[in-house]
Structure 1
Amino acid sequence: MSEALSDAVAAAARSDRPKTSLRKTGGTAPGDAKGAEAASGATTAQPNALPYVSFNQLRSFHAVAVAGSITAAASLLHVSQPTVTVQLRQLESHYGVELVRRTPRNVRLTELGESLFTITQQLFALEGEAVELLNSAGSTLRGRLRVGGVAPYFVMRLLSTFSRAHPGVALSLQLDNSATVIRRLIDQEIDVGIVGQTTLDSRLHALPYSRQDVVLFCRDDHPWAGRDGVRLHELADMALVLREKGSTCRLTLEQVLQERGIVPRVTLEVCREGVREAVVAGFGVGITTDIEYVPERRTRMLRILDADIYTEAFAVCLRERRTVSVTRAFMATAEEFFDRARE
């Protein structure tokens, strides 16, 4: 959903009042027609006239479709729950249609509602682009940029460089595995991402960043602690701590193990932040990349001696949104940053 929906909707939604239906009603004298029309906010259909629709009602519908419930939509729009309910009912009543089906716990879109949601996603994405265009018309780039990343190491220095170049852009960052970052990017929950993916979605525009080797690490009292590395076949008999599914590091290692016919003995699956603690707690040998591994007295890094296993990092955005001002500026900064890092 576009930033315009979260930024501009609250004030607009609070001020939205029910619109008089466009259907003809009796009891209005000819001389009063213009006054009644002006008071209602409706417009009489004219040849080649723009169609009328209440944007606030569409915002409420869109928020319900995104959030999945009236309560969550009201929170998203920073308005009261009755406001969302009234605007949604007005939209349905005006056109004589059913867009959502209410259940005790949430709402579900009808077939017509699903079709309208496809349109409102495009509508509010374009509205966001219009806002960004106006914000960037001045000498200073302004707006918001929602960033997703796989690890602080890959993201923070780039964000710092971008922020110094464009101080008028507000930044937000969500950290997760590559699969989740890419899903959020495609769903337009974020604007750009730094991911380590072996196969990128064709809908993405990508800039290569760096290559990093997949490595193992163990506790300092582990039998392998005095070694420089291990061979893959040794993993078949060793307790292994893996990242959660969706991790590119895990996926890359699993592909090579499968090719070699090696079935690892996995004792724990845990998120990135939990792998080190799991290793220190004695669950087994962990996996990471050489760039992400932080040397400390309690663990030892182990290279994989008989396979070239690595991941690659990319800066990515949706191809269809690469010309949006803040996205374009971020990708340009990323390209310059990556070039300097490779020098």
Structure 2
Amino acid sequence: MNLFQLRAFDAVAREGSFTRAAARLFISQPAVTGHVKALEEHYQITLLRRTARRVELTEEGTRLAAITRAMFGLAEEAQAMLEANRQLLTGRLEVAADGPHRVMPMLALLRARYPGITVNLRLGNAQETLAALLSEHADVAVLTEVEPRKGLYLQSLGESHLCALLPVGHPWAAEPGELALRALDKQVMVLREPSSITRQTFDRACAAVHVQPRVVLELDSREAVTEAVAAQLGIGIVSSAEVAHDPRVVARPMAGAGLLNRHMIGCLERRRPLRLIQAFLGLASMSEEDGSSSGCAPLR
């Protein structure tokens, strides 16, 4: 079956004229006539009656026109949907992130600029977030301390600084300035699990200067660390990008080497040209430029 011939017939059936059908299809009138004639000859059927004033459908032509109208109507609907997606009027973006703090401003910008885009956000630890991206369960991912690898595009989102999280009544909570990393030697602490990027950064910094904190509790979320510190179970460690406004605790920037984390947004290199991914990467840059400073930024 020749779709060009069917398309030409459908246009003539809709317009009632070979000339108007040619204008509709942006081809010449003889081309439309040739397509319809070839269709009729191939199937040995008369679909149209040519009169002096207009073209009329035969009974068989009327039946075929009902089919082609539905057929090409669906094609036009598909084209409209795809065009809307291309123009970012509609679409769906799968986003993964290892924490909510950096990704939420980006999603707010996306919502403001492209209200027709639906977002599915999955939050997990660093390993889960990277795995979601590499397995194509996420289109883009907000990541921390990811090493470059072939096929992975990474765009910087800046750095965050590790902070000590103290209960509001702690003697160190009211002191100005940075808290020296060495001050945490032998201190009772409540930390994230060993697989946490924040925990790994802290452990490396401590090992470099032979600081040995007393870790009495390991927790699997930032919220749990905050609750444990508020309950005065020990001192916690948080990223400056993740400091919550909680009157029960105080976050103090820390002084010492190796206390920085690098944040990135990533996608698979081969999918980077997709328009929706390009738009989100651009909004990520805007979010970073417009972002306000954290309540636990290191003092300069």
* Fold-level similarity (TM above 0.5): yes
Aligned to 2:274: 324
Aligned AA for 2:260?
A: Y
**1:298 positional shift:** 1.6
Q: How many residues align?
A: 213
Q: 1:188 to 1:246 in 2, by over 3 A?
A: farther
1:239 paired residue among 175, 185, 188: 188
What does residue range 1-343 of structure 1 map to in structure 2 within 5 Å? Answer: 134=82, 139-197=87-145, 199-228=147-176, 229-270=178-219, 271-307=221-257, 309-341=259-291
**1:135 positional shift:** 5.6
Aligned-partner Cα distance in 1 for 2:158–2:184: 27
Counterpart contact for 1:198–1:311, Cα < 8 Å: no
Counterpart contact for 1:249–1:289, Cα < 8 Å: yes
Counterpart contact for 2:95–2:122, Cα < 8 Å: yes
Counterpart contact for 2:88–2:117, Cα < 8 Å: no
Q: Secondary structure at the match of 2:172?
A: coil
Structure 1: runs of 5+ lacking an equivalent: 1-129
**1:290 positional shift:** 2.3
Q: 1:247 to 1:203 in 2, by over 3 A?
A: farther
Aligned AA for 1:330?
A: F
If the length of structure 2 is used for normalisation, what is the TM-score?
0.63
Aligned AA for 1:186?
A: L
Counterpart contact for 1:149–1:194, Cα < 8 Å: yes
Deviations 1:21-64 (CA, angstroms, capped at 9, x unpaired): xxxxxxxxxxxxxxxxxxxxxxxxxxxxxxxxxxxxxxxxxxxx
Q: 1:202 to 1:277 in 2, by over 3 A?
A: farther
Q: 1:141 to 1:244 in 2, by over 3 A?
A: farther
Aligned-partner Cα distance in 2 for 1:192–1:314: 10
Structure 2: runs of 5+ lacking an equivalent: 1-77, 293-300
If the length of structure 1 is used for normalisation, what is the TM-score?
0.56
Aligned AA for 2:287?
A: F
State the structure with more CA Rg.
2
Query: What CA RMSD, in Å, does the superposition of the two structures yield over aligned residues?
Result: 2.8
Aligned to 1:89: none
Q: 1:202 to 1:244 in 2, by over 3 A?
A: farther
Counterpart contact for 2:154–2:265, Cα < 8 Å: yes
Counterpart contact for 2:85–2:91, Cα < 8 Å: no
Aligned-partner Cα distance in 2 for 1:219–1:230: 14
